[in-house]
């Protein structure tokens, strides 16, 4: 599929079936995250694939019934820190890029996803016994047969509203 066609068709799924994601597809999705760019190529990312502990985390993050989720976390010692802005680092941006790479590879393979930022990071970290800081969660799986994407999926501003040449 053409890349632009792929990104236009991809949508967030909030209704997953119980069908498991095949290991070969999961491996490709994780590889897409591994090769994603990070600031100064510091590679501060650690990915936690959650399958067996989904019930343990359901009170801190909603994964919409997905059969698995990937927690994208950051090693705060390795993350690039902006010398021009004290206290600013690339955590959110690095994690979002990694998550986006995985999300797009998943859709390319016929696996749907939902990017999740709404969760309780300290509680998720404790429940999964993580050393790194959780930044986002990617729920992965196949659509429930009755799931229909939100009508908002196709609503986009005109290019003239978001682009300005200077």
- Tens-place pLDDT, residues 99-109: 999 999 999 99
Query: Residue 2 class from Cβ within 10 Å (0-12 exposed, 13-18 middle, 19+ buried)?
Result: exposed
Confidence of residue 154 (pLDDT cuts 50, 70, 90): confident
And the tokens for 130? 């993580």
Query: Residue 39 class from Cβ within 10 Å (0-12 exposed, 13-18 middle, 19+ buried)?
Result: middle
- Tens-place pLDDT, residues 65-74: 999 999 999 9
Are residues 104 and 1 in contact, defined by beta-carbon separation less than 8 angstroms? no
And the tokens for 107? 């859709």
- Order of strands across the sheet that contains 133-141: 45-50, 68-74, 133-141, 112-116
Are residues 136 and 47 in contact, defined by beta-carbon separation less than 8 angstroms? no
3-144 CATH choice from 3.40.50.720, 3.40.50.10800, 3.40.109.10, 3.10.580.20 = 3.40.109.10
Q: Which residue has the higher pLDDT, 118 or 154?
A: 118
Judged against a pLDDT cut of 80, whether residue 1 lies above it is answered with: no
Q: How many CB atoms lie within 10 A of CB 20?
A: 13
pLDDT at position 56, please?
94
The domain limits of the chain are: 3-144
Closest CA to 142 of 116, 102, 109, 115: 109
Closest CA to 96 of 79, 64, 73: 73
In whole angstroms, give the CA distance from residue 139 to residue 119.
13
Main-chain dihedrals φ then ψ at residue 96, nearest 5 degrees? -65, -40
In whole angstroms, give the CA distance from residue 88 to residue 12.
29
- Tens-place pLDDT, residues 8-54: 999 999 999 999 999 999 999 999 999 999 999 999 999 999 999 99
pLDDT at position 147, please?
87
pLDDT at position 6, please?
93
């Amino acid at each position: 599929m053409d890349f632009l066609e792929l990104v236009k068709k991809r949508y967030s799924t909030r209704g997953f079936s119980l069908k498991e994601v095949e290991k070969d597809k999961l491996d490709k999705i994780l590889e897409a995250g591994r090769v994603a760019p990070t600031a100064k190529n510091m590679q501060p990312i650690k990915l936690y694939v959650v399958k067996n502990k989904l019930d343990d985390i359901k009170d801190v993050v909603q994964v919409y019934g997905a059969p698995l989720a990937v927690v994208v976390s950051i090693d705060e010692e390795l993350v690039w820190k902006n010398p021009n802005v004290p206290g600013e680092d690339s955590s959110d941006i690095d994690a979002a890029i990694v998550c986006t790479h995985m999300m797009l590879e998943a859709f390319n393979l016929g696996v749907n996803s939902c990017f999740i930022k709404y969760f309780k990071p300290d509680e998720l970290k404790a429940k999964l016994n993580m050393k790194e800081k959780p930044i986002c969660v990617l729920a992965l799986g196949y659509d429930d047969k009755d799931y229909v994407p939100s009508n908002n999926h196709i609503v986009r501003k005109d290019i003239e509203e978001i682009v300005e040449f200077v």
